[in-house]
Structure 1
Amino acid sequence: MTTVVQDWDPFSAAPDGDQASVQDAMRRTCPVAYSNALGWSLFRHRDVMRALAKPAVFSNAVSAHLSVPNGMDPPQHTDYRRVIESYFSADRMAAIEPRCRLIAQEVVASLPDNGEVDVMNSFADEFALRSQCAFLNWPVDLHRPLRDWVRKNHAATRSRNRDAMAAVAFEFDQHIRAVLDDRRKGGLNADDVASELLRERVNGRGLTDEEIVSILRNWTVGELATMSACIGILIAFLANHSDVQARLRADTSLLPRAIDEILRIDSPYLTSRRVTKCPVRIGKRAIDAGQRITIMWASANRDETTFEDPQDFRLDRDPALNLLYGAGIHVCPGAPLARLELRVLMEELLASIEIAPSAHNHPIRAVYPTGGFSACPVHVHRLGSP
């Protein structure tokens, strides 16, 4: 194996947590870069698209732990993906929208009529948790342990303590296994997602508990953190772009495109992994088989060669180029739910709240590898109030 000199250190390169500017600089100066922490990082849109389009070369089987279906390659991935996609059908999204809207109305109503609020600590996390539990059709008594677990997970992630992260992951797995045991004892006719998964069949057999835990981990661990990050990014952007805020309030039909565009500019999801199954050349770099590849989503979505004036908010861009939810066979299956939740929340928020930057506090960026903000203070004013 060829010895490679480190091109950058992703954990120390970002002043004030500004990942975007660091990735922009890397894309322009060293678009295929090696680091001890991430292996080979791909910063350009075209290189990322190549990796996404060739799973036979860039494998998703990168984790020592079972990951269904994200950490699988075809044909195994195809069988599980077929099961997963049915949970995000148009009919299911239509059925969940009224519940999602009610949750949005309640969290918007909890905002002060006129004052400052950190939207991450209550508003964003609360909506993410409650809307995801509504999708899973879990009762209210499951909200509290999941909320406590999410807070522990955030703290472990911020500390970068692998032992703490492993302990939190084990706690979550045990919690889900207890849910599955409870569903078995009560019969499998319940209509929550855990019970449905217990009835699923793959290749003529039922899913194992380990497989179901993996699926539900993706739908909670990943989705809760990403949804919360998305909400913070959207609110911070609207607070600092009053013209866009007014435009979207006047015409909410623009929201789907606008949300995707804002989250292209400021990505909630920074990286994902692949591993090379054979030697490959990317740009001027020769990469051996078995090498870790890190896809830099935020950089690819700000690539000047793909997006003209990439930092500008524009609604005329080609949506097929936006990698917010990925591309190829591993495109995010939960994208329909995420888009529904964000659209409904923004509709309800803009209908009754004006958002402005905080006069006293600045947003604080989340710690890598998490995108968005750990704190996002803004000033809110309820329309029609003094």
Structure 2
Amino acid sequence: MEQTVRETSGPSRPVDGCSTDWDPRCPEVLSDQIGAYDRMRETCPVAYSDYLGWSLFRHQDVLRVLGDHETFSNVVSRHPSVPNGMDPPEHTLYRRMIEPYFAPERIAAFEPDFRQIAHDLVASLGRTPSCDVIRDFAEPYAVRIQCSFLGWPQTLHAPLLQWIYKNRTATLARDSEATAAVALEFDGHIRSQLKLREQAGADAGDDLTTCLLRQTIDGHRLDHSQIVSILRNWTVGELGTIAACVGIILHFLAERPDVQSQLRQDRSQLPPAIDEILRLHGPLLSNRRVATRAVTIGGRTIEAGDRITVMWASANRDGAAFADAKQFHPERDQSHNLLYGTGIHVCPGAQLARMQLRIVLEELLDGLDPFALPARSPPVRATYPASGFSSLFLTPA
């Protein structure tokens, strides 16, 4: 069925006596988010909940929203978000400014540092790790490579790890006071780094954070609030999704010894395999938009001002977009894969993330003996807004 988007009027909420179509935080959903989203896509692909507003589960609906920034605005927060929470023409100006920070040659320069970080962390695990590889490997890896990329000191590693847990808890609870507190805490870390560089003046290192302090846009220097917003967007997304990606891939390889063996023998297969594994189990579950006018999607009326949640993790498993969608086919055409988004808000750091994941998987396959999942310590799934696993143990295969 073709999606229609038109001016319309009528009820925008369920009219069958229920106030919502589903509860994204109920135990049945949180116990297996990916499976729950699959069921919603088939039974109620445009669903309303008090928690997420309108959730869109089909690839075609998500693609439409991502491609129509005039009808579906990215300005979803009371707090400034540069440039993610902007629409054109403002978004265009800032997006053009940040893209050189993710130029191929700039990204490539970090590969030796990222590889050393991955190598050292893998070495600390031993050939047959008995620890929780999420807490003791994936999350530390995400924090350390991000600090390396931004030029932040090792003293921030532990505070940023703690911040991840606080932010995740506050977001799930929709606790506005806790969310504001953790946001302020994170902003404090950034502002302290800006202050150190300003005090150093010309002697400040030529790292990415210092470059942003010297950055101009439209003839003016960025102010601290703009820099904080840019770095918050980059870092919050990086810390959560990279750690989730590592856990998801390790879990998949532990369950699929045939794929693990193939990748050990031929590392050239890693890039397409990583993209396909993360299509099957998205590290980023959703993203927000707000309707600027009344529209109809999938037979449901969405009013101007209504919140919309695009469900990446469901869209990427839609059989209408991917043949044999729930099966692992790394050779498939990945052009419809929304892992890094699409349109004007496509992730500028997609190639950076791909490099970081390729490096860490190369080091893991080099440093670990063949592994499987232990029967006595089953993985613990992460819960919204996180994806992947909050705990994951491995055992020798």
TM-score range, shorter chain: over 0.9
Greater displacement, 4-13 / 118-127? 4-13
Aligned counterparts, 1:254-265, within 5 A: 254-265=269-280
Aligned counterparts, 1:206-225, within 5 A: 206-225=221-240
Give the residue type in structure 2 aligned to 1:129: V
Corresponding residue number in structure 2 for 1:4: 13
CA distance in 2, matches of 1:80, 1:299: 30
Q: Deviations over 1:120-162 (max 9, x none)?
A: 1111011111111111122323333333433433454465543
Would you say the 8 A contact 2:168–2:386 is kept in 1?
A: no
Corresponding residue number in structure 2 for 1:186: 200
Task: Classify the secondary structure of the residue corresponding to 2:335.
Answer: helix
Corresponding residue number in structure 2 for 1:43: 57
Distance 1:173 1:162, change over 3 A: same
Distance 1:155 1:28, change over 3 A: closer
CA distance in 2, matches of 1:60, 1:13: 30
Aligned counterparts, 1:88-167, within 5 A: 88-157=102-171, 160-167=174-181
Matched, 1:58 2:78: no
1:327 to 338, 342, 346: 342
Task: Classify the secondary structure of the residue corresponding to 1:320.
Answer: coil
TM-score by length of 2: 0.92
- Structure 2 spans left out of the alignment, 5+ residues: 1-9, 15-19
Corresponding residue number in structure 1 for 2:6: none
Distance 1:156 1:34, change over 3 A: closer
Corresponding residue number in structure 2 for 1:21: 35
Matched, 1:285 2:300: yes
Residue 94 of structure 1, CA deviation: 1.1
CA distance in 1, matches of 2:324, 2:94: 39
Q: Deviations over 1:19-53 (max 9, x none)?
A: 11111111111111111111111110001101111
CA distance in 1, matches of 2:230, 2:306: 26
Equivalences, count: 381
Give the residue type in structure 2 aligned to 1:181: K
Aligned counterparts, 1:69-80, within 5 A: 69-80=83-94
Would you say the 8 A contact 1:116–1:380 is kept in 2?
A: no
Would you say the 8 A contact 2:30–2:384 is kept in 1?
A: no
Corresponding residue number in structure 2 for 1:204: 219
Residue 83 of structure 1, CA deviation: 1.6
Give the residue type in structure 2 aligned to 1:299: S
Corresponding residue number in structure 2 for 1:384: none
Would you say the 8 A contact 1:32–1:40 is kept in 2?
A: yes
Q: Give the aligned CA root-mean-square deviation in angstroms.
A: 1.7
Corresponding residue number in structure 1 for 2:382: 366
Distance 1:310 1:150, change over 3 A: same
CA distance in 1, matches of 2:383, 2:161: 20
Percent identity, aligned pairs only, is: 54
Aligned counterparts, 1:243-254, within 5 A: 243-254=258-269
CA distance in 2, matches of 1:47, 1:3: 17
